[in-house]
């Protein structure tokens, strides 16, 4: 079960890196847009985040339910905004995904 937790953690970080890497790459261009990679990465974040919580609970490791609730809400928000932005190609969605993803990172790192 511990190995599965690490697998979830690695893929959770891959999802985060794909979102932020794509954001930084697109900032070099003239008009950044929300792409399919953001939606896919957001779904990866959701699935692996739930998997991480499940494995921590299975291993009787401590879980901050308030923090996980906020992280889940932010991850769902990223997925919804990315999907909406991919369909409408609106610039606001790109910046909203970047902002909410950064907020999720702050919650993950700073909330102890």
Q: What is the pLDDT of residues 23-44, one digit of tens each?
A: 999 888 888 888 889 999 999 9
pLDDT of amino acid 29: 83
Nearest to 74 by CA among 45, 39, 34: 45
pLDDT of amino acid 112: 80
With 0-12 / 13-18 / 19 or more C-beta atoms within 10 angstroms meaning exposed / middle / buried, residue 27 is exposed
pLDDT of amino acid 55: 96
Q: Are 93 and 34 in contact (CB under 8 A)?
A: yes
Nearest to 111 by CA among 75, 65, 79, 78: 65
More confident residue, 31 or 14: 14
Q: Are 54 and 24 in contact (CB under 8 A)?
A: no
Q: What is the percent of the chain with per-residue pLDDT over 90, rounded to a whole number? A: 83
Give the global pTM.
0.88
């Amino acid at each position: 079960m511990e190995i599965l937790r690490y697998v979830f953690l690695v893929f959770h970080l891959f999802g985060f890196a794909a979102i932020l890497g794509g954001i930084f790459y697109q900032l070099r261009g003239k008009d950044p847009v929300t792409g399919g990679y953001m939606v896919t990465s957001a779904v990866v974040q959701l699935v692996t985040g739930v998997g991480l919580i499940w494995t921590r609970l299975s291993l009787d490791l401590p879980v901050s339910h308030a923090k996980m609730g906020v992280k889940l809400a932010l991850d769902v928000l990223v997925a919804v905004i990315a999907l909406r932005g991919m369909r409408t190609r609106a610039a606001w969605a790109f910046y909203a995904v970047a902002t909410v993803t950064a907020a999720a990172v702050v919650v993950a790192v700073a909330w102890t």
